Amino acid sequence: MLSLLDLRARIATGRLTPAGAVGLVREAIAAREPEVGALVCVDPAPHVAPDGPLAGIAVGVKDIIDTADLPTAMGSAIYAGWRPRADAPVVARLRRLGAVPLAKTTTTPFAFMDPTATRNPRNPGHTPGGSSAGSAAAVAAGMLPLALGTQTGGSVIRPAAFCGVVGVKPSFRLLPTVGVKCFSWALDTVGLFAAGVADAAHALALMTDRPGLDLPATDPGAPRIGIVTQDFCAAPAPEALAALARAAAAAERAGATLRDLALPAPFGEAFACHPTIQDFEAHHALAWEYAHHREALPPHLRAALERAQGIETPAYDAARRVAHHARRGLKDVFGESGVDVILTVSAPGPAPAGLASTGDSRFNRLWTLMGVPCVTLPVDVTAAGLPLGVQVIARFGDDGRALAAARLIERALA
């Protein structure tokens, strides 16, 4: 994989120019894209800034995020060839930092569940996940050092885990969602993919102008980790539990203290409310497409929007109250348990076979609903070469602690 920090170090020492770094990416795309199919389009003549903290870093942008220089088709024929007049703020920020938004990456249509044709670079017979399929696969294939995705259920953490890369879903609204096609305004979160935790932390620190998110060179101290398995939903596969145990053991070797942590009943109730909030808001966010292009919508999305017509406003309001209660309660869980971060599986197991499904988001939805930062990192691979990941979760706004704990585990595993 291409490391953002390695490319920047080579540029800083004069061993590589920003244009040369983009050239390396182009070579990698030419070599891997035909088999992976992670990209919608590539800018044939991008402007490469000569300086800036991310000069020379080519970025993949999920195709529901507006770009002025490239089409934004949202994975749908309805918007084929659509060219926004302006970049989304998150893309504009990357340009100001010197980065090159080089390619649009594939997304499931409108970032829902109908799969793309993108293949998992680790095993092409398996899904890369969704909805940020192209972003995860492009980084995993070594075609891009940084890519943007979005998460409404599990669309950053799960594909990152399936493809064996680092994925970060920051605290809700840490990265702006203006200029991103809305599916659920209470849940949609912009996230990113990178080769390693330090790469992702550096990018997020620059993108948010929060230097404290960048990982220190010195050991930040041993975290107190709570192990969670979500006993209110179906259990993960044995391989996923084994990866969780391996990550926990590595953290303990590195000095972390561990304890098992059971989530109180309100979190199971909140977990069950996620679909009501998501689908009710999607019904409104995609009202124009449903009214005017219903037959052009893919089957899973069309069926979901049809079901959502039956969600009454009182049910939606009740679900929001349950979620709010759980968010407030999560502060108490951290405080009363004495843990700094939570460690859990990133997905129920390895990437499922075939391209008909993007996988199950049941180990992501609650944390998206809570709005808290999540970082997934690869831990192991199955006999079939499929990655297995774990995710680190911290309090709302404590993104730096989640990144630091993930880096500690990553180093211990190495």
With respect to residue 193, please indicate whether it lies within any of the assigned structural domains. Answer: yes
- Identify whether 337 is a catalytic site residue: no
| Structure confidence by residue, pLDDT tens digits, 314-363 | 999 999 999 999 999 999 999 999 999 999 999 999 999 999 999 999 99
Name the average pLDDT for the chain: 97
User: Out of 76, 132, 135, 155, which one is annotated catalytic?
Assistant: 155
pLDDT of residue 221: 77
CATH code of the domain covering residue 110: 3.90.1300.10
Residue 406 sits at the vertex; the CA angle it makes with 194 and 139, to the nearest 5 degrees, is: 15
- How far apart CA 146 and CA 138 sit, in angstroms, is 9
Q: Is 62 a catalytic residue?
A: yes
In a domain, 118, yes or no: yes
More confident position, 393 or 218:
393
d(C-alpha 7, C-alpha 29), whole Å: 16
Question: Residue 219 above 90 pLDDT?
Answer: no
DSSP states of 130-187: SSSHHHHHHHHTTS-SEEEEEESSSTTHHHHHHHTSEEEE-STTSS--TTB--S-TTT
**Confidence at residue 111, expressed as pLDDT on a 0 to 100 scale:** 98
The total number of structural domains in the chain stands at 1
Q: Is residue 34 a part of any domain in this protein?
A: yes
**Whether 195 contacts 139, CB under 8 Å:** yes
Domain hosting residue 64, numbered range: 4-213
Sorting pLDDT into bands at 50, 70 and 90, what band is 66?
Answer: very high
Catalytic one of 76, 131, 171, 346? 131
Q: Is residue 11 part of a domain?
A: yes
Verify whether residue 331 is a known catalytic residue.
no
Please report whether residue 360 resides in a domain: no
C-alpha to C-alpha distance for 410 and 335, rounded to whole angstroms? 26
Q: What is the pLDDT of residue 216?
A: 79
Statement: residue 217 has pLDDT above 80: no
Residue 32 falls inside a structural domain: yes
Residue 240 lies in a domain: no
Does 91 fall in a domain?
yes
Tens-digit pLDDT profile for residues 112-151? 999 999 999 999 999 999 999 999 999 999 999 999 999 9
**61 closest CA partner among 116, 102, 110:** 102
Is the entire prediction scored with pTM above 0.95?
Answer: yes
For position 333, what pLDDT does the model report? 96
The identity of residue 34, as a single letter, is: P
Which pLDDT band holds residue 172 (cuts at 50, 70, 90)?
very high
Question: What is the rounded average pLDDT of the residues 227-236?
Answer: 96
H helix or E strand, kind and range, residue 269: helix 265-285
* Chain centre distance of CA 361: 12
DSSP string for residues in 82-140 = ---SS--HHHHHHHHTT-EEEEEEP-SGGGSSS--S---TT-TTB---SSSHHHHHHHH
- pLDDT higher than threshold 80 for residue 84: yes
